[in-house]
Structure 1
Amino acid sequence: MARRSDKTDDNGQAPATQKVPAGLTPSMAQYLEIKTANPDSLLWYRMGDFYELFFTDAVVAAEALGIVLTKRGKHLGEDIQMCGVPVVRADEYLQRLIRQGFRVAVCEQLEDPTEARKRGSKAVVKRDVVRLVTPGTLTEDALLDAKTRNYLTSVFQEPGDNADYALASLDISTGEFEVGVISAADLTGELVRLLPGEVLSIDAVIKNAEVERTADLITAALTPVPAASFDSLSGERLMREYLHVSDLGAFGEFTRSELAAIGALLTYVELTQLGKRPTVRPPRRSGRGATMIIDAASRSSLEILRATNGDRAGSLLSAIDRTVTGPGARELASWVSSPMRDLPSITSRQDAVAFMVDSHQLRKDIQRTLRGAPDVARAISRLSLQRGGPRDLGTVRDAIATADTCASTLMSAGEPVGLPSALVDLTQSLQGPPDELAQLLAAALVDEPPALRREGGFVQPGYNAALDEALTLRDDSRKVMASLEAKYAETSGVKTLKVRHNNILGYFIEVTAANAKPLMEEPLSDLFRHRQTMANAVRFTTVELSEIEGRIASAAERALAIENDVFAELANAIYKHEASLNAMASALAELDCVTGLGQLAVEQNYERPVVDDSLSFDIRGGRHPVVELALQKELAGPFIDNDCCLIPAVSPDSPPGFDDPAVGRIWLVTGPNMAGKSTFLRQNALITLLAQIGSYVPAKSAHIGVVDRLFSRVGASDDIASGRSTFMVEMVETAAILNQATERSFVILDEIGRGTATFDGLSIAWATVENLHDFNRCRALFATHYHELTALADRLGEIANVTVDVKEWKDEIVFLHKVKPGAADRSYGIHVARLAGLPSAVTARATEVLELLEKEQTSGQGSAALDELPLFAATREVESAKSSPLIDAITDINPDELTPRSALELVYRLKEIAREADE
């Protein structure tokens, strides 16, 4: 089942909520008060160097984390269960809880214990919850995947049956914000595209079987929220506040449904962040018309972001990713998830990639500069949530320097021909943050700031005079006192004067009794004040010495306070330029993607496709990007490329070079299993996707009319949890295609109708092809073993037959993996079964049955032919095969390879086999 981030019981209460009467320690009473205010979360209660959990929270956490459950004290005669995790390892344990779907309330100490003791010996340290941690509200690098976005998505269902949905998605860790409206049929596909860490909606949506199944697939937590939180007025108000504007007109028109989804999203952010507001970028509009629509089943079968086993390795994204930064990898994943439909945008990105393809040195310089660049977007978000540290300030400083270098490199590369418009825009964004900010951060921060403010030591010496003095006092008190000692010795004329220290008097000036008299008389007595007379020495102090002593005593505390003031000053400077910094962060990520796609094109010999508003689909020498890469890594030889020309046969633009009979808007693909039909289907879908993200493609050439929807029904399995058989899953996916595909869609279907009786399946496949041809009128590849379907090419004008070529040699088949015009006359299923290792008796029997079935088909004597099959023929064949080693030995002989000597030896061996068989 999908993870429930609230982990509540049937009554909506967390199991750890317990009413405990008075009589507990003050700390435990405080714990229960805070726990009561956070009933739906595991409460991490800070006690010194540990976060501790009590009562049932402790039992739940100990089991989830695999840590020791212990006891602390008693209540009403029963032990209080307790467990804890060290603060220094908090992120590790927090990540494990969040991945299991728990919500965690982090309760911190808000004061130093010494401050509490000033109120009395029994005073309790002030504590309160500073944040609620849920799967969709993570900001720490340790809790996040550097290459993956972590969206929090709210889903609002408009009134009415089968109504549309409005979605609002925010990645709190970067501020990326997306809003759109989609149809009910596209909801699950949109969730798979977004891959949110957490989904917010009302119970009716959360408990929808399709939503739960999708959440399981993408490992998203489902969090129910009240219907009242979907308030469009609140959404409008909060959005204005987060974007710091008085009117939303600059960002386009928002429907009331979109604002309702935004309202629930930002209300939840306010709740979990306890009023602290993350950075939120201007919203990107998604939904109808913006991107190519790919449903959940198609995304899964095409393995776009993840392979079928759930790993990134083996996916399209993994095969094409040449980015060198985490933000670049996240941006590329977004591009691959959301192929564009806007032709100017596609062309603009292609131009940028083409510039990189043609500029080897530029690619090299940009990737060298970007490699290891910090994740500035996440640093800015942490700072805005007051969760950042000095290292985040350093990240902003270093990112500005990286951006400046990249901008200079691009401008130099653009001379004298000029940069493509997309790279011009990126260059401007890279130069956005003002020089004053860069100079301030460079002057204020040490080269490698620590992660935590409490560690101190992150301000550059010389930046703040008061801090320098405090640090000097803290670190160089001996030098300070030595300097003071020399000064007083010169002033007094007593060369043996010493500045000393003990625990009773603190710092003091000491001279011998013989030298004390001048210090006790005017004018020196105005400076030196008598403190103590000893047998052999006299001790003095001065106002200056007392002041310095006080400063030394509090120097460390004061130094840290000053550093915190400097931190706040620098953070505020960053807040003022948040918009330009976020634009710079986006530009760095996009530049990484464009450079990486250029590198990919050169490495893998990709070509620039033509993408226009036609209905063309002409791919020459196409290759599967993932399979090709796998073959290269295994040194298994080159990938066999293939053409695919889905153009109406009657079109005057039918391309040369491929026989006219194979030109059609729909191709029926026949051929044996393992010949490469599914690979051929998928590679053309992936080439289409790559073309519409602005990438070069694995082909010699490609001309593709922009695709609005991409459908892939290749491979199927049952859905036991929902009670759906393999055939039912297949039919549901096919229905989605037939109900939604348009003439601009591209469809690949493999083996429709295979999950039921032969004639039923053939009938369904036949009707499906007719519907695609006559009503959907889309471009499609339809792979089948129903050879009867090939007759449709003669009946329907825009269907062509192609087959994957094989060669027979010595009763074996060789897969050539080459697609050619025509139809296969055999499926070679028994040959493939033999390759798979089926017993020879089984394949021999299968051959006999096949011959009789083919006889039935050609002669019309079906029943009679089948009646000729003895009931126990298979058993007798097996027995015969097992008792005929002589026949097997003779069958294995290759006469062309026998020498006279080996032939004579073979005769003797056959005679021996025959003798043993008789015995």
Structure 2
Amino acid sequence: MSNSVAKAAPRDADTRVTPMMAQYVEIKAANPDCLLFYRMGDFYELFFADAEIASRALGIVLTKRGKHLGDDIPMCGVPVERADDYLQRLIGLGHRVAVCEQTEDPAEARKRGNKSVVQRGVVRLVTPGTITEDRLLEPGRANALLAIARVRVSEAEWSYGIAAADISTGAFTLSEAGESALAAEIARIEPSEIIVGEAIWSDDRLRRMLEETRIAIAPVGRDAPDGSAERRLMDYFAVATLDGFGALSRAETAAAAAAIVYIERTQIGAKPPLGFPVRFRRGATMEIDAATRANLELTRTLSGHRDGSLIACIDMSVTPAGGRLLAERLAGPLTDPAEIAARADAVAFFLGEPELRAQTRAKLKAAPDIARSFSRLALGRGGPRDLAALRDGLRAAREVSQSLAHLPDAPSHVVAAARDAGLVPPTLVDLLTQALADELPLNRRDGGFVRKEFEPALDETRALRDESRRVIAGLQTRYSEIAGTRQLRIKHNNFLGFFIEVQQAQGEKMLRPPFDTEFIHRQTMADAMRFSTRELGELESKIASAADRALALELEVFDRLAAGVLAQGEAIKAASAALACIDVAAALAELAAARDWTRPMVDASHVFSIEGGRHPVVEASLKQRGEAFVGNDCLLAQATDQAGLIAVVTGPNMAGKSTYLRQNALIAILAQMGSFVPAAEARIGVVDRLFSRVGAADDLARGRSTFMVEMVETAAILNQAGDRSLVILDEIGRGTATFDGLSIAWATIESLHERNRSRTLFATHFHELTQLTKKLPRLVNLTMRVTDWNGQVVFLHEVVKGAADRSYGIQVARLAGLPQDVVDRAQTILAELEAGERRAPVQRMIDDLPLFAVAAAPPPAPPKADALRQALDALSPDELSPRAALDALYAIKRLRSGETER
């Protein structure tokens, strides 16, 4: 949460500042929690503490304007035309901004006196969760505002309502959760801003949890009473009852009302086109807690970047709406096998039709973000380019609909989406095409966006504005013919405006009939006379106001076009959603084709069987370097099993244990979101909850050590995992003393086996745990295959049955670059420790072994020559025939195994 509250000057000092500063202070006092962008001409100015905050945040010069109580008033400003750039930076830092505009014409203010201040007012509050501008939004990421409300369900239990509203697209979803699931829901939605009532914010435990999300928090007033909350929703959506929204709980209704109140407050009169609230049903998606999402790097890496995450690896969508839908599906994988299969059917359809897929993706690529353009138009913030975006997007939707709607083999998901894509009448697209010019300004008030010949009155006005010289030249020619002289000229000055000037002799003639009926004498000069005409006077008036009238006519056209668009709101929203669905299906098919992914089988059993599974992100990274990924199998349950196996995975660091654990979790997520997966074959019984404890870090803000964080996450798993869960645990117990850690890991395995019965991957360096297979029937041992070549560890990245005989820690340390004398000393200590287990306590070693400081480092030994090295050195690969190369390979294998050639 960012505290961007900038205290204005005290109200009792209003009389000691200028009228303008008094106005500023009054407006600032009404918006104390926002930075105030105060419009002055072509700049937004900030004063007092606001100026100091903005100057630091934006890196702009802090100046001063006038004095207050004898002190200079700090001031800084940003140009109006570049305000979006500065807003983006301030919003990114968690600030909120009140945009204060001039609400009257300065000419009207001058009528009240020279010292009168132009009336101003806040027209909008800009907060992280309520922005709509393209330049402030990430195209492929939803921008949700999350409202949380709670109601008491018993003496010791609260229920939490969660409302997520994205005013940039109109999406509005509701859900309900207990306190233990609240953090997971926030992580699933990944909002840009969270609003909570006083009661929640004053709860220390909840406030700490919210602050840990590092999301902007907006504490608001008390939650509205039930009746008031219901009335607020009915008024906003113009309905007489909430029954049509489903059986909303009290908590959901309260959260929805809180979101609406905040939106109305920030939009100040503008009404975002939110869709009717859609209830998110718990259990319909795989539950993934916040720690697991972070550990698996689904949307952000552990360092906070999108690059390197799973979403960045798999996102081959070509539309912003498709990117947002893909992220939504990744955040909430389904648990209904039938719905999962329907999504996979759509992917399989496009995978089997490469030419159709390419054509469809090309059409989709031409479709702008019509959902966000529509929302801006509904809010009155849209411009000509938003109309053009709707024109192009709806044209693409119609083309996609026509190409897909009647295909005989298309699955139901594709047919339904294609039908919805074509719901908008083609007449709207045709109207926008006829009305909009080829080159469009960003803002409608810049004008010039209506195509020539679309509006005759506008064309005439533009002619007066843009072609005044040609019009005047035409009049000059006609008047010259009437007056009978080629010396007639039409001129202009600020005093007379447009006038006709002729030589003195010709002027005397024009004062008499019949010329005096056409020409009106205005001024006599020493050698010339000046005249006017009624026509010229009317033309002057038209030319003077032509620019204003042209803009007014264009704005009328804009309003008519926007009204036509808004009248088709439901069809446009359906078309946008349909294009997103088609884009995701085609993108996942493109992904499967490019990376050789296969369709998984997802059913209602407990099975978890993967053959040749691969980590999608690591594989993509290796491929860029020209290296191959070694696939591995994973069996955690057969189709007939009612509980999962626990696979204890041993092996050295860097051998790939963590990668193996993560890849199986990611395959489950991908399968249940409806995607194909990186595996030769995969069959997965629906995973209802996914838990991952892979790595941990200190939580210094809460006074937690790495080990404490590890134990908290492990406790959450043991308290919540069930027989349909998938659990991934890496190095449990390594953050404390050896025997303590071993004991905790031992007891954790027993609990998972006997009580949770989850499908589990458990990586460890405690080799003693591998002996538990003798006691626990659903425990199996897996190890990472490695080899030791002349003291050098070689990682083969293969997972095989069995247990590791050692951890190869010293070899890994050598690879990491530890000094050779340190490595040698470690080997000496290790040998003594291993021997000490059989014949002497550690204390004897401490007494007998020489200190590291006095242990002389042996001189480096020359590499040993052996038969294998000599055989390799003797080979010349470029000169070998295929048969000779094969014979040489067999000879090397015999040397390696100690055989002698006969």
Q: Is TM-score (shorter-chain normalized) higher than 0.5?
A: yes
Taking the aligned partners of 1:586 and 1:249, their CA distance within structure 2 comes to: 25
Counterparts of residues 453-472 of structure 1 (less than 5 Å): 453-472=444-463
- Report the counterpart of residue 698 of structure 2 in structure 1: 718
Larger deviation: 272-281 or 294-303?
272-281
Measured against aligned partners, the alpha-carbon deviations of 1:568-618 in whole angstroms (never above 9, x if no partner) come to 111222221122112222222222222211111011100000111111111
- Report the counterpart of residue 45 of structure 1 in structure 2: 38
- Report the counterpart of residue 415 of structure 2 in structure 1: 424
TM-score (ref. length: structure 1): 0.89
Aligned match for 1:176, one of 161, 164, 171: 171
Taking the aligned partners of 2:674 and 2:298, their CA distance within structure 1 comes to: 16
- 2:217 is equivalent to residue 222 of structure 1: yes
- 2:726 is equivalent to residue 746 of structure 1: yes
Measured against aligned partners, the alpha-carbon deviations of 1:267-301 in whole angstroms (never above 9, x if no partner) come to 01111111211121233332511211100110111
Change (3 A) 1:520 1:725: same
TM-aligned CA deviation for residue 889 of structure 1: 2.5
Aligned match for 1:312, one of 306, 310, 313: 306
Classify the secondary structure of the residue corresponding to 2:13.
Answer: coil
Taking the aligned partners of 1:315 and 1:575, their CA distance within structure 2 comes to: 38
Counterparts of residues 579-590 of structure 1 (less than 5 Å): 579-590=570-581
Taking the aligned partners of 1:677 and 1:569, their CA distance within structure 2 comes to: 62
- Report the counterpart of residue 356 of structure 2 in structure 1: 362
Measured against aligned partners, the alpha-carbon deviations of 1:695-746 in whole angstroms (never above 9, x if no partner) come to 0000001111111111001112221111112221111111111111111111
Taking the aligned partners of 1:76 and 1:645, their CA distance within structure 2 comes to: 76
Change (3 A) 1:869 1:74: closer
- 2:235 is equivalent to residue 255 of structure 1: no
Change (3 A) 1:678 1:749: same
RMSD in angstroms over aligned alpha carbons? 2.7
- Report the counterpart of residue 815 of structure 2 in structure 1: 835
TM-aligned CA deviation for residue 489 of structure 1: 5.3
Classify the secondary structure of the residue corresponding to 1:299.
Answer: helix
- 2:628 is equivalent to residue 638 of structure 1: yes
- Report the counterpart of residue 889 of structure 1 in structure 2: 861
- Report the counterpart of residue 443 of structure 2 in structure 1: 452
Contact preservation (8 Å) 1:608, 1:697: yes
Larger deviation: 19-28 or 674-683?
19-28
- Report the counterpart of residue 824 of structure 1 in structure 2: 804
Contact preservation (8 Å) 1:710, 1:746: yes
Contact preservation (8 Å) 1:182, 1:287: no
Taking the aligned partners of 2:9 and 2:328, their CA distance within structure 1 comes to: 39
Counterparts of residues 837-856 of structure 1 (less than 5 Å): 837-855=817-835
Counterparts of residues 165-204 of structure 1 (less than 5 Å): 165-204=160-199
Larger deviation: 514-523 or 288-297?
514-523
Larger deviation: 89-98 or 844-853?
844-853
- What is the aligned-residue identity percentage? 51
Taking the aligned partners of 1:182 and 1:378, their CA distance within structure 2 comes to: 29
Contact preservation (8 Å) 2:194, 2:216: yes
Change (3 A) 1:575 1:232: farther
Larger deviation: 349-358 or 481-490?
481-490
Change (3 A) 1:256 1:653: closer
Taking the aligned partners of 1:690 and 1:729, their CA distance within structure 2 comes to: 28
Taking the aligned partners of 1:652 and 1:614, their CA distance within structure 2 comes to: 7
Taking the aligned partners of 1:186 and 1:716, their CA distance within structure 2 comes to: 20
Aligned match for 1:441, one of 419, 432, 438: 432
Contact preservation (8 Å) 2:384, 2:442: yes
Taking the aligned partners of 1:810 and 1:180, their CA distance within structure 2 comes to: 60
Q: Which amino acid aligns with 2:633?
A: D
Contact preservation (8 Å) 2:644, 2:723: no
- Report the counterpart of residue 54 of structure 2 in structure 1: 61
- Report the counterpart of residue 623 of structure 1 in structure 2: 614
Larger deviation: 16-25 or 731-740?
16-25
Q: Which amino acid aligns with 1:798?
A: R
Larger deviation: 674-683 or 60-69?
60-69
Aligned match for 1:873, one of 849, 862, 868: 849
TM-aligned CA deviation for residue 241 of structure 1: 4.2
Larger deviation: 734-743 or 601-610?
734-743
Change (3 A) 1:577 1:231: farther
Q: Which amino acid aligns with 2:222?
A: A
**Number of equivalences:** 869
- Report the counterpart of residue 117 of structure 2 in structure 1: 124
Give the unaligned 5+ runs of structure 1.
655-662, 903-919
Q: Which amino acid aligns with 2:94?
A: G
Q: Which amino acid aligns with 2:432?
A: L
- Report the counterpart of residue 796 of structure 1 in structure 2: 776
- Report the counterpart of residue 911 of structure 1 in structure 2: none
Contact preservation (8 Å) 1:45, 1:52: yes
- Report the counterpart of residue 292 of structure 1 in structure 2: 286
Taking the aligned partners of 2:869 and 2:301, their CA distance within structure 1 comes to: 50
Change (3 A) 1:240 1:519: farther
TM-aligned CA deviation for residue 90 of structure 1: 1.3
Q: Which amino acid aligns with 1:7?
A: S
- Report the counterpart of residue 913 of structure 1 in structure 2: none
Taking the aligned partners of 1:15 and 1:793, their CA distance within structure 2 comes to: 70
- Report the counterpart of residue 26 of structure 1 in structure 2: 19
Taking the aligned partners of 2:619 and 2:48, their CA distance within structure 1 comes to: 56
Classify the secondary structure of the residue corresponding to 1:21.
Answer: helix
Change (3 A) 1:684 1:841: same
Contact preservation (8 Å) 1:481, 1:499: yes
Counterparts of residues 505-584 of structure 1 (less than 5 Å): 505-509=496-500, 527-532=518-523, 539-584=530-575
Larger deviation: 780-789 or 828-837?
828-837
Measured against aligned partners, the alpha-carbon deviations of 1:295-343 in whole angstroms (never above 9, x if no partner) come to 0110111011011110011111111111123332222111111111122
Contact preservation (8 Å) 1:232, 1:262: no
Taking the aligned partners of 1:775 and 1:512, their CA distance within structure 2 comes to: 112
Q: Which amino acid aligns with 1:98?
A: I
Taking the aligned partners of 1:878 and 1:112, their CA distance within structure 2 comes to: 83
Counterparts of residues 87-106 of structure 1 (less than 5 Å): 87-106=80-99
Change (3 A) 1:210 1:684: farther
Counterparts of residues 638-657 of structure 1 (less than 5 Å): 638-647=628-637
Change (3 A) 1:804 1:521: same
Taking the aligned partners of 1:356 and 1:213, their CA distance within structure 2 comes to: 47
Give the unaligned 5+ runs of structure 2.
874-902
- 2:363 is equivalent to residue 383 of structure 1: no
Taking the aligned partners of 1:131 and 1:29, their CA distance within structure 2 comes to: 21
Q: Which amino acid aligns with 2:760?
A: A
Classify the secondary structure of the residue corresponding to 2:14.
Answer: coil
Taking the aligned partners of 1:60 and 1:898, their CA distance within structure 2 comes to: 68
TM-aligned CA deviation for residue 32 of structure 1: 2.0
Measured against aligned partners, the alpha-carbon deviations of 1:595-651 in whole angstroms (never above 9, x if no partner) come to 21111101110000011111111111100001101111122x211101111125xx7
Change (3 A) 1:219 1:326: farther
Contact preservation (8 Å) 2:644, 2:758: no
Contact preservation (8 Å) 1:353, 1:594: yes
Aligned match for 1:731, one of 698, 702, 711: 711
- Report the counterpart of residue 768 of structure 1 in structure 2: 748
Contact preservation (8 Å) 1:834, 1:843: yes
- Report the counterpart of residue 149 of structure 2 in structure 1: 156
Aligned match for 1:7, one of 4, 7, 13: 4
Taking the aligned partners of 2:76 and 2:673, their CA distance within structure 1 comes to: 50
Aligned match for 1:504, one of 490, 495, 520: 495
- Report the counterpart of residue 806 of structure 1 in structure 2: 786
Taking the aligned partners of 1:74 and 1:516, their CA distance within structure 2 comes to: 62
Contact preservation (8 Å) 2:8, 2:25: no
Contact preservation (8 Å) 2:644, 2:757: no
Q: Which amino acid aligns with 1:752?
A: I
TM-score (ref. length: structure 2): 0.91
Classify the secondary structure of the residue corresponding to 1:442.
Answer: helix
- 2:318 is equivalent to residue 324 of structure 1: yes
Change (3 A) 1:504 1:833: closer
Q: Which amino acid aligns with 1:567?
A: F
Change (3 A) 1:444 1:480: same
- 2:588 is equivalent to residue 601 of structure 1: no
